[in-house]
Amino acid sequence: MPQLTETTAYGGGFSAPAQQAAQAFRAAMTALARPGTLQDIAGGSPPAGISPAAGGLLLTLCDPETGVYLAPDVDSPELRAWLAFHTGAPIVAADQADFALGSWAALMPVGQYRVGTSEYPDRSATLIVEMAQLIPATATLTGPGIKERAELRLPDVAACQANAKQFPLGVDFFFTCGGQLTALPRSTTILPKE
């Protein structure tokens, strides 16, 4: 087993934290507000095994009060140490997670994550799904933040549709690849691409 080094645990954060965190937060919020759009996110260099986009989201959205679930395909001592040092976020079980990170297959089933309650629908999980590619699209999207329609590559159209049918409950998704991300809020209507 590789040993943790100062570089893996302490390096790779934002080099200009205020500016890069603001840019990353803007990219994340724009992606949620405009489902299906690709946003660039840069600045963080997480340990091997996760994309810079996923690392940027973790650096921006996580803090000591934010529980993170790491799926088996991305979980490593290096990532745990990096996340603890840069964000202080605790590692938790899937059913307690505010954020969950991994590939689609490793994060499944979606039903294990919190979907909120009728009184507090915002108390749900957000899944950060690492993808091999974000294009070409496999689904057509309509709904809030979409002028007419948008297109998005989804790993499982039927599972995402079932999640959206729970609205206002359900989970939200970020899809990441390299230095880009896109988002799928639970309020979005999803149709298979024709």
In a domain, 141, yes or no: yes
Q: Of the candidates 50, 47, 97, 39, which has an alpha carbon nearest to the alpha carbon of residue 73?
A: 50
Residue 82 in domain: yes
Q: How many CB atoms lie within 10 A of CB 66?
A: 17
| Closest to 46 in 3D by CA, of 155, 184, 174, 179 | 179
Name which of 31, 92, 90 is nearest 56 in CA terms.
31
- Structural domain total, the chain: 1
According to the model, what pLDDT value does residue 194 have?
74
Does 8 fall in a domain? Answer: no
pLDDT for res 9 = 65
Q: In what order do the strands lie in the sheet with 68-70?
A: 39-40, 180-184, 172-177, 126-130, 99-103, 68-70
Domain holding 172, by residue range, is 15-192
Q: Residues in the chain with pLDDT < 70?
A: 1-9
Instruction: Please indicate, yes or no, if residue 144 is contained in any of the structural domains.
Output: yes
pLDDT at 1: 43
- What is the CATH classification number for the domain harbouring 148? 3.40.50.11310
pTM listed for this prediction: 0.93
Asked whether residue 120 is assigned to any structural domain, the reply reads yes
> For residue 6, is it within any domain?
no
